[in-house]
Amino acid sequence: MSSKKLERQLNLIAALMEGPRALRAEEIHRRVEGYPESGEAFHRAFERDKDDLRAMGLPILMEDLPGADPPVVGYRITDADYGMDDPELNTDELAALHLATSIVRLRGLDDDSGLWKLGGVAGGAGSPVSLSAEVPTPAALLPLFSAVSGRATAGFVYRDAERLVDPERLEYRRGRWYLAAFDRAKGERRSFRVDRMGDRIELGAPGSAAPHEPTGGPGTGQPWTYDDGPAEEVTLEVDSVVAPVVRLELPDAEVLAERSDGSLRLRVRLTRWEPFRSYVLSHLDHVEVIEPAWARTDLTHWVSTVLDSLIATEGRP
pTM greater than 0.75 = no
| CATH topology assigned to domain 224-314 | Alpha-Beta Plaits (3.30.70)
In which band, very low, low, confident or very high, does the pLDDT at 135 lie, cut at 50, 70 and 90? low
Report the pLDDT value the prediction gives residue 287, as an integer from 0 to 100: 92
CB 32 within 8 A of CB 12: yes
DSSP states along 19-38: SSS-B-HHHHHHHSTTS-SS
Mean pLDDT, residues 87-116: 58
Higher pLDDT, 94 or 208: 208
Report the pLDDT value the prediction gives residue 295, as an integer from 0 to 100: 93
| Domains in the chain: boundaries | 3-82, 91-215, 224-314
Architecture of domain 3-82: Orthogonal Bundle (1.10)
Q: Is the pLDDT of residue 156 over 90?
A: yes
pLDDT digits (tens, 9 = 90+) for 253-309: 999 999 999 999 999 998 888 889 988 988 888 999 999 999 999 999 888 887 777
Query: Comparing 114-123, 184-193, 242-251, which segment has the lowest mean pLDDT?
Result: 114-123
Q: In this structure, what are the phi and psi dihedrals at residue 267, rounded to the nearest 5 degrees?
A: -120, 125
Q: Which amino acid is at 54?
A: R
Higher pLDDT, 213 or 112: 213
Query: Comparing 104-108, 185-189, 227-231, which segment has the lowest mean pLDDT?
Result: 104-108
CB-hemisphere CA count at 13 Å for 19? 17
pLDDT digits (tens, 9 = 90+) for 34-67: 898 888 899 999 998 888 887 776 778 888 887 7
Report percent pLDDT > 90 for the chain.
18
